[in-house]
Structures are given as C-alpha cells and as structure tokens.
Amino acid sequence: MSIRKIFEAELADLKTELVEMCRLTETMIENSIEALVKRDRELGKSVGEMDKRVDEYEMDIEKRCMRILLKQQPVAKDFREVSTALKMITDIERFGDQASDIGDLVYTMPGERYIKELHYIRKMGDLAVKMVHDSVNSFVQNDEALADAVIAADDIMDELFLTVKNELILLIKQDVKNGDQAIELMMVAKYLERIGDHAVNVAEWTKYYETGVHLKF
C-alpha cells in the first residue's frame, strides 16, 4: 500500500471512530430523556456509566490525531481534517457530559409527580439528538449544507428552551412548592440547550474543514 493510501486509511479509521463516539452520545441523550420521562432511575444511572466509554473514545481519537500529525505532517485539507477532528471531540465529549448530568439528576430526583407535561423537554431532547447526529455527519460526509442546517436548528432549540423556562417560572409563581422540581427541570432544559450549542460548534468546525475559515455563528 502506498504511503498516501495508508494515510487515507488512517483518516478513514479516524472518521469511523468519531462516528462511533458520536452515536454513543446520541444513545446517552435518548436514554437520559427516556429515564426522565419514565422516571427510570436505573436507566438514568446507566447513562453516567456510559460516559466513561465516551472519555475513552476522546483519549483514543486524540492519540490517533496526534499520531497522524506526527507521522504525516498533513497540510491543506488533510491538516484541516485532522485538526477539525481534534477540536470536535471536545464538543462530542461534552454531549456525553450533559447527557450524563441529566441521567444523574433523574437518579437523584425525588419520585414525585411531575409539575408539568414534559412535552417541550422531550422536543428539546429529540432536537438535541438530531443536531448531534447531523453535526458529526456533516463532517464525515463533507456536507456543508447539513452543517448550516445544524446551525439554523439552534434557533429552534433556543426558542424551546425559552418556552420551558417561561412555563417553569409561571409554575413557581403559582406555587412556591413547585420550586425544587422546577429548578431540576430547568437544569435538564439547560443541559439540552447546551448540547445544541456544542452541536453548533461541531458544525462550525465542519465549515472550517470545508472552507479553511473558522467563523462563529
């Protein structure tokens, strides 16, 4: 195999591992929301345990990138590909952290009845999973339009967060006893909103990979 082919195989392996890491965080987000909705404490706890695997992926991909930089000294799009992967894993790792935080909250939350329907939080969860999925796919599939769609979706995420926040404020005003749970649900919403922000970061890195220009949206 030529040196160039070996290098291309290394890049392909790198992307495969990035996708695996990303899929794991998607499952974590899905499970954390399912645990919340079903009040499944054990499922919530299991999300935190999955986070260890995400950390391992991060370390492993980081090593891969360092090894490629050292051995191949890539330039131009090759360089952007490796540096993009290196930057992305920080955000993907944060997807896992936020899902894990939601799982921990579910595990420690008292088993009272919810003070509100979880309709919008579930919508936020679904959107978070889609943004995470699309952000990494935009990189792997060289799809700048998909990266743009992720960046645009963040506005919807922000609106949903505002809706949930306003609902919870209203519930606290109605009855101070709602306060404890309202704050916990507010934290869940905030974690999901942050996942959206990290997905935007990943999409921005995809755009850098495609264009060579790193812009913040």
The stretch near other proteins (CB under 8 A) out of 95-103, 143-151, 166-174, 208-216 is: 208-216
The stretch near other proteins (CB under 8 A) out of 2-10, 58-66, 110-118, 175-183 is: 2-10
Cα 206 to Cα 189: distance, rounded to the nearest angstrom: 26
38: contact with other proteins by CB under 8 A: no
Measure the CA angle with vertex 199, ends 100 and 97; round to 5°: 15
CB 55 within 8 Å of CB 93: yes
Nearest to other proteins of 1, 75 (CB atom): 75
Stretch 81-140 residues interacting with other proteins (CB under 8 A): none
Cα 11 to Cα 13: distance, rounded to the nearest angstrom: 5
Cα 105 to Cα 179: distance, rounded to the nearest angstrom: 15
Stretch 49-88 residues interacting with other proteins (CB under 8 A): 73-80
Cα 89 to Cα 170: distance, rounded to the nearest angstrom: 38
Q: Where are the alpha helices (DSSP H) in the chain?
A: 3-38, 41-72, 76-108, 119-140, 144-174, 179-211
Residues touching other proteins, count (CB under 8 A): 14
Nearest to other proteins of 16, 211 (CB atom): 211
Q: Please, what is the minimum distance in Å from the beta carbon of residue 12 to other proteins?
A: 15
Stretch 5-24 residues interacting with other proteins (CB under 8 A): 7
Nearest to other proteins of 78, 144 (CB atom): 78
213: contact with other proteins by CB under 8 A: yes
Torsion of CA 20, 200, 97, 22, to 10 degrees: -10
Binding site for other proteins (CB under 8 A): 3-4, 7, 73-80, 211-213
